[in-house]
Structure 1
């Protein structure tokens, strides 16, 4: 019989390996093995009364209790480590164990005994049991049914605070945070803070069917809230909502909600906080105590279980945290703008009367049509009715109007001629409002579509010869009259040309007749 307890107690007193071996009657090799295993598994003095040689042997060498059966021994450490890997199950490990047993001419344990022995080992010696939950696989999230409160400094009234809870089912490590609302921004920000607290991301997140996470959930279709879906994509995780009225789908967080309601929310019932920040500071102190409370039936606590058994399996956080955005729909107005919170943003005019998706963040408004990016604007704040218009979104005739400035108007007139330049300068000087003057010049500029530069310059010259106060309407009248006269003159000239005989007259001889002799 190996005196495990005495070996470890003598080692704790500083006795040399040679002295321990001599005192216990065991070899130095065995003494070294026992001390190394005890150090690796965290078994230190002093020991409780129940921790006798048999207890220590089962703790250090759990396989020994199975060796006398004549069956293929089980490597519990190997089984526990393999179960942490994706898609590895006890069924697969038992199948491999059976194949190894046959190769060694040993009798394997049945699957039921295999599971029972591993469960007994994990429950006694490990912080987590990996049969149902793999490390780093799932994060379950929900709102606590109980509420906390803060006190309004001005009125002394109690204001409700809602507590968000996130739990890792494998290690049972939990995160909690109080918010003043259960709206979408609070829901998303709480997720971001939970990922930061855990220091990584799970493969799957399991929420309830509240509107902030799920828009539609039937047996045939699941439609996620667009913002929630975008956050999950940013963290490279999958959202798998719990089935409607199926709390067992997220049993871990349901259990944690009840425990947190007792050990955190109820524990703060007599604590007075005057802001949500103060409340969260107190809440996180209680949360730290909660995660460090020892398990009642096994060694360790939630935090140590996470550090030892689950942290390694989390995916790394992205380089930058998710920046919350909100999705809405809008209809493009006839003026090729959309209305978002009483502010107006332009989109290409080709999409007038179309329904578009709008992504709102703190500083940007991004517009999509059928998942295709259309445009983005800097978000407007302040007075309602502000307009953000991009020139390329306008029809051509609108671009012409918007482009009107005194400098551009004069530049255009110079390109037409001196008379047009004189008219434009007069219009700019004569109107009390620059805007009215530019509107008149814009009407004159539109004449380019129907008349040549020569015709416009000629009309301006004729008007200036008649009056020192030219108007655009008078110039338009002259352009019409000149055009009409030009058309009439062209018609007269055409008739004169067609009436002139330039043909050849054939004689009678051409048609077979005789030429008259004179």
Structure 2
């Protein structure tokens, strides 16, 4: 290959009128080489086409783009997914890929407030659309509790955000985290704050305040319209929404909560936290939470009253449940436990019956011993529309008709002729 200077000299001699043969004789080059140098459009030879460098992440680009289109913008989550598919590269390449394609956000300034170990936790709800639960379309909520010092978090999905389930989720969080913080910070939720007066006086939800007293923590409400006051749990909800939720597939609510628990144990709490620079599970050992044993004694049952019918049943959410015959036509107390049991009690609190809560509509849960002593035939089992798991052979409160003797039609014909003859003789 001719050097740049030699090509310039050849082209310069040709411009001065020296023939190609003479240039070849002077330079010792072949005439074809001289002719190529003279006829080339540019002094520099054409560069060979640059080979595109194959990156390790290239085979996974379609998958990453698809997941980002689904809303998965967390690079660590995407890295874990393609790593399971055989990706041999580093996480930094995935971060670069996501960073180049992630929509930019406007910067928001804030002041960080840190608390001492065991001093504070922050609680909030997150809304996650709808779910089909027991054949019904329900709203889906995520309860999130984040400890202020260790940043250890707990999440549980529910189909209700009322006070009862709010308290139940607290108990699940205390069991998971191993104790109760001294203070818990909340937004102005109806399950916590019933109302605020103009002077700022807070009127707490009575049942929740009773629960806080039993559990041994002080509730604290944020000022209205200041969500940054509980920024730790706000970030916790965003973390659930951005890291766990995108692309998750589940069969039912139980399956979703099992996946959320696995995510807490393998991703959320074992990671190095971006603010503390430490692992939340590691710091949790030094959190120094209060003992939660007293909190677990709190009764989280849904408490309602029902009047039993003369058929010895009460109604709850479109289904019927039997009660002892001695308590027919009486006002009874009904407790619905988190485990899905319906407990019927007398006015003084004595337990009378216990059923499994039915999930459908128009069904009956009947226990045979509730009808003993009535002097009536045994209920027919084939009329039972729902049978308790603990009582698989329990009959329903519908009685058989009286037994009728079956006779041939000729008997009735003879009877009619006999009546006719008697009337004729008169």
Q: What's the TM-score bracket when you normalise by the shorter of the two chains?
A: 0.3 to 0.5
Question: Of Structure 1 and Structure 2, which has the larger fraction of its residues in helix?
Answer: 1
TM-score for both structures, normalised by structure 2:
0.44
Identify which of structures 1 and 2 has the higher relative contact order when contacts are C-alpha pairs closer than 8 Å and 6+ apart.
2
TM-score for both structures, normalised by structure 1:
0.37
